[in-house]
Structure 1
């Protein structure tokens, strides 16, 4: 029997890097002497690529790259220390690796994602990591998922995407693979329920569900 394929989002699905992300945004706005943004507004944008998040926070398009550079100049110094695995994340990934080929599909840069996963002790389980810098069109576009499948040499059959936001779900639907939602992250269960797909409290329960599918 061929192995299933499971693609994981990162922030809010496997990891909690909220503190580092908020510090990065604060640093970016401070660098340009702009008022700091409300942290709840920023949290609502976690999962979006940085360029889109800054645009939604009112930064002029021509200045977005400068803000991203200011963000990353701080984020790269703190993200390892200020990121932790969500409860049962390590157990989830290990369990999934026993019956599936695993990859990460994130809007975070793969430059940061790869060393982060290694430091958190789960990098070895992922055959492929697709970040924002690997694609032209990030989630919710299908491109990052299709690229992950291509690099894994896997088809869409028995392929699943686990994530905590509508971006993950829509990307899975656009790529025509099976979306699975978790409510451990940044989007409410009520919002996720609109998609009428399975929603689980954490990735471990999601993995048990996928494992049970014949």
Structure 2
């Protein structure tokens, strides 16, 4: 089914456009070592990514995806500050684009779509990653996890993007790799496209019923055929 009459495409970042887990894991482990704790394999940290920096640190301190409710707040605050400092120094050292991302984004932009990013990553880290991976200037709007009072899966960032682009919800598509993206789209009554290769905590994204689901980013071109000019 072609997604027709769309004007704006909203993309998640981590796990959708960029494999940022190597740098996130490095910063997490530097933080844990700094605190006198044992580091974790990158594969473990991958399963903790996707809900923003605070949740990542809570999971790292808990050593599990399920957060320990007894963590002292002073420990959490200190660990988060240390993590953000470490991550700022390695934000794009080993991160890389997933296959076919840049060419597909450029093709979609050439077809007339306007592009934005809605991520749960702190906003200050987004531009350095885009610059480092050659994506600067492609996106008109960037909303981070700390840009608004709510983050995905809350629909507020999606509604905010619609208002900024001056389009209706029906004219937008949310594209991402995790349930947070699909649930945010559903809460906003927006169409969505899921990608299976990212960070979704080993859950089957199909359960959340995006309008389309692809294992290759290039699949977007099969359902987004470009903006039709008025006759």
TM-score (norm 2): 0.84
1:23 to 7, 21, 26: 26
Show structure 1 runs of 4+ deviating over 6 A.
none
Count, aligned residues: 214
Change (3 A) 1:3 1:190: closer
Change (3 A) 1:152 1:112: same
Please say if 1:146 is aligned against 2:159: yes
Structure 2: any 5+ residue segments left out of the alignment?
63-67
CA contact (8 A) 2:15 2:197 kept: yes
Which residue of structure 2 aligns with residue 40 of structure 1? 43
Give the secondary structure class of the aligned counterpart of 2:174. strand
Give the secondary structure class of the aligned counterpart of 1:45. coil
Partners of 1:134 and 1:41 lie apart in 2 by: 28
Larger radius of gyration: 2
Which residue of structure 2 aligns with residue 126 of structure 1? 139
Matches within 5 A, 1:32-181: 32-57=35-60, 58=62, 60=71, 62=73, 63-97=75-109, 98-181=111-194
Shift of 1:85: 1.1
Deviations 1:157-205 (A, max 9, x none): 2211110011111111111111110112123786111123321012221
Question: Which deviates the most, 36-45 or 106-115?
Answer: 36-45
Structure 1: any 5+ residue segments left out of the alignment?
none
CA contact (8 A) 1:99 1:211 kept: no
Which residue of structure 1 aligns with residue 215 of structure 2? 201
Partners of 1:61 and 1:136 lie apart in 2 by: 24
Please provide the CA RMSD for this pair: 2.3
TM-score (norm 1): 0.90
Give the secondary structure class of the aligned counterpart of 1:124. coil
